[in-house]
Amino acid sequence: MHDWTLALEQTTQLEVTQGSIARVSDAVRNGARLRLYMTTDTYEETLYFQQTYAGSGPAFVGLMTHHHSYFHRGQIAAQPYCSFFSYDTSGTYTHIKWMLDNTVIDEGQAYPYGVYRWFVQDGWHLVYEHDASGNRLRGDLEELKSLAREGRTLEVGIRQLFGLAEDDTSGPEHIYYLTTMQPVIQAGEVLSNCDFVLVGPPRWPLGRPPGLHVAMMQPSTSGEIVCYFAKPGELPFRRIVPRRGMVWRVAENG
């Protein structure tokens, strides 16, 4: 896998001092992984994003779905809870806390970090692309199957993922890359379970709830996506099977 490279640096005032926003959005649109390093007066942190979003222009977003928090508003939490984040170049982030008692707290805000350094990891090769009906657009499905059999690292980019809960594709054009964890070859297709997925409403910018859903999903080269959706704090999950065009990529060295 390629090294992580600095593609964009911003000051507290969000001025660009290195790289460019377009460089990051182009890389994300082509499947690059994304990380963000930030500083405050008391600590430094680097965010690993499990999901990425790229619009048709310079817009890009990194989303965290694996954050298990141990402190709440400066105090030790009585129980751990899930946090969902999204970050972009605006200096405002989305932060939703889903507590074990099913309480949901919106902690999103604008926060003046000292520095923002956006890193990308290229090295993803397009293997197969299809439309929402599963019709081939580019690449080779048999090659994708062979790579899955070899244990290679795959990722899937889903077009028009936002609005999926309502099966609404009317929002701005975008592609949304997901990390996968269990490729399966079945009935002539490649499927893969994904990490927890955050799905927003069909609009830009992403904004805050209402409209944010948490999903467990299994996309397929048939164009189908088996999904279980729930708004944070509003169980149970509901099942839908929408269709979308997808891009399947493999790590060049992993």
Per-residue pLDDT reduced to its tens digit, 215-234: 999 999 999 999 999 999 99
pLDDT-derived band at 236 (thresholds 50, 70, 90) equals very high
Segment (H or E) for 9: strand 5-11
The partner residues of 220 in beta bridges, in order of sequence, read 191
What's 243's DSSP letter? Answer: B
Q: Are 16 and 10 in contact (CB under 8 A)?
A: yes
Cα–Cα nearest to 114, from 6, 4, 9, 5: 9
**Whether pTM exceeds 0.75:** yes
Q: Are 69 and 77 in contact (CB under 8 A)?
A: yes
Distance CA 232, CA 212 (A): 8
Per-residue pLDDT reduced to its tens digit, 126-182: 999 999 999 999 999 999 999 999 999 999 999 999 999 999 999 899 999 998 999
Cis peptide bond N-terminal to 183, omega within 30: no
Q: What is the pLDDT, as a whole number, of residue 206?
A: 61
Distance CA 197, CA 239 (A): 14
Q: Which residues contact 13 (CB under 8 A, 6 or more apart)?
A: none
Compute the Cα dihedral for 120, 122, 128, 129 and give only its sign.
positive
CA separation, residue 187 to residues 90, 110, 128, 145 (Å): 44, 48, 17, 12
Distance CA 131, CA 96 (A): 32
Q: Which residues contact 78 (CB under 8 A, 6 or more apart)?
A: none
Six-digit token string for 214: 């948490």
Six-digit token string for 219: 């996309």
Per-residue pLDDT reduced to its tens digit, 184-217: 999 999 999 998 899 988 876 665 556 889 999 9
pLDDT-derived band at 253 (thresholds 50, 70, 90) equals confident
| Angle at 47 (CA atoms; ends 43, 50), nearest 5 degrees | 160
